[in-house]
Amino acid sequence: MPAKLSKSVWVFVALAGFAMPAAYAETPNEVLSSIQQDAAATPGFQGFSGARGEKFFREKHGNEWSCSSCHTDNPAAQGKHAKTGKAIQALAPAANAERFTNMKKVDKWFKRNCTDVLGRSCTAQEKGDVLTYLLTVKK
Amino acid sequence: MLQRILVWDIPTRVFHWLLVLSFTGAFLTAESERYRDIHVVLGYTLLGLLAFRLVWGFAGTRYARFSSFLFKPAEVAAYLSALLKGKAKHYVGHNPLGSVAIWLLLGLGIGSGVTGVLLYQEIGGDAMEELHEIVSNTMLVIVMIHIAGVVVSSLLHRENLVRAMITGFKSGEPEKGISRSFLWLGVIILVAVLAFWSNYSAIGVATPGADTASSRQHDDD
């Protein structure tokens, strides 16, 4: 029995290590409210705006690229990497159920992509506006 | 009677410094999509260099051969305890502790390169992304330890190991030196890598970022 038990423990560990990150840990709305909690700490916060998020998404911010350089102006469509030309899966949750379901991944990619597009990290306000916009995009 | 003896052949040295360049460059371009093409080409370079090194580990000159730095765990432990007492024995090639770093760097380099290629081919998803980062970060840690080891060993034995990896020469007994430097092979490796880089740059120019930056115009079409 101990041998069998330890085997199942290992199977569990393996599953926990590899399968769980693939499961949807959060919903996009939970991710949004987590960003909202950060934003609310900023004085003068008056909620998120999808319209402001869309503008932010399409505009350049001093660098060569905007968000839409890779994700296109239609976040429900497949994007294209501006450097490598490789396909990027749709960003809008309506078109791609995997998007914004893992806070760690959301943080990681906002950090990477904001550094490219803005040359700095995005504020919680900016992230929340963009996600609010993406949640309004229909498939 | 100590003399100036050749220890590292030219292919080994060219490999070493090109690996340094590729790994450093790949690390510096890792966090940005703007340099993704450079990151990828340096990853391929790293894999190509390591593939050569695996062959050279069997076919190379005395100290480049794996058999010259394949130590038993007991030898590594003995070297470590001697080192802690400040009485580490001098080795012409890799010392037992240094060899551990070399084996790890070879393994992690291959791991980093292979997971990178798989990731770029979109195989393995998020788990592959994690794995590529973990393996690469671990490699960075071993690189740091390797550099620290080089500094400590250089001070301890009063020999400049960095210079030895540049010139190939150390001070030692004449019969311990290698006789051939294999200059031609070093040149071939260098030319092959430079040709690969310039060829890749040409591909990079053919698919500039401006391509998709104009996607808004396409939408208006």
Give the minimum alpha-carbon distance from A102 to chain B in angstroms, rounded to a whole number. Answer: 11
Q: Are A120 and A114 in contact (CB under 8 A)?
A: yes
Mean pLDDT over all residues of chain B? Answer: 91
Q: Do A21 and B213 touch (CB under 8 A)?
A: no
Give the minimum alpha-carbon distance from A83 to chain B in angstroms, rounded to a whole number. Answer: 5
B21-62 pLDDT per residue, tens: 999 999 999 999 999 999 999 999 999 999 999 999 999 999
Q: Do B216 and A22 touch (CB under 8 A)?
A: no
Q: Where are the domains of chain A?
A: 27-136
**Is the CATH code 3.40.190.10 the one for domain B3-210?**
no
Residue B219: predicted pLDDT: 38
Q: Do A70 and B34 touch (CB under 8 A)?
A: no
Give the minimum alpha-carbon distance from A18 to chain B in angstroms, rounded to a whole number. Answer: 6
Q: In chain A, pLDDT over 70 holds for what percent of residues?
A: 83
Name B6's bridge partners: B169
Establish if B201 touches chain A: CB-CB under 8 angstroms: no
DSSP state of A45: -
Say yes or no to pLDDT of A135 above 70: yes
Q: How far apart are the first and last CA of chain B?
A: 81
Q: Do B213 and A69 touch (CB under 8 A)?
A: yes
Establish if B216 touches chain A: CB-CB under 8 angstroms: yes
Residue of A nearest to B40 (CA): A84
Q: How confident is the model at residue B215 (pLDDT cuts 50, 70, 90)?
A: very low
Say yes or no to pLDDT of B216 above 90: no
Question: Which pair of tokens denotes residue B208?
Answer: 């500039």
Q: Do B37 and A84 touch (CB under 8 A)?
A: yes
- State the complex-level ipTM: 0.77
Q: Quick one: CATH architecture of A27-136?
A: Orthogonal Bundle (1.10)
Q: How confident is the model at residue B175 (pLDDT cuts 50, 70, 90)?
A: very high
Say yes or no to pLDDT of B218 above 60: no
Could you write out the three-class secondary structure of chain B? Answer: CCEEEECCCHHHHHHHHHHHHHHHHHHHCCCCCCCHHHHHHHHHHHHHHHHHHHHHHHHCCCCCCHHHHCCCHHHHHHHHHHHHCCCCCCCCCCCHHHHHHHHHHHHHHHHHHHHHHHHHCCCCHHHHHHHHHHHHHHHHHHHHHHHHHHHHHHHHHCCCHHHHHHHCEEEECHHHCCCCCCHHHHHHHHHHHHHHHHHHHHHHHHCCCHHHHCHHHHHHC
Say yes or no to pLDDT of B183 above 90: yes
Q: How confident is the model at residue A15 (pLDDT cuts 50, 70, 90)?
A: low
Helix (H, G, I), strand (E, B) or coil at A24: coil
Residue of B nearest to A105 (CA): B126
Q: Do A68 and B209 touch (CB under 8 A)?
A: no
Residue B209: predicted pLDDT: 43
Residue of A nearest to B219 (CA): A73
Q: Do B207 and A84 touch (CB under 8 A)?
A: yes
Within 13 Å and on the Cβ side, how many CA atoms surround A18?
10
Stretch among A25-34, A110-119, B107-116, B210-219 having the lowest mean pLDDT: B210-219
Q: Are A117 and A65 in contact (CB under 8 A)?
A: yes
Q: Are A31 and A98 in contact (CB under 8 A)?
A: no
B89-106 pLDDT per residue, tens: 999 999 999 999 999 999
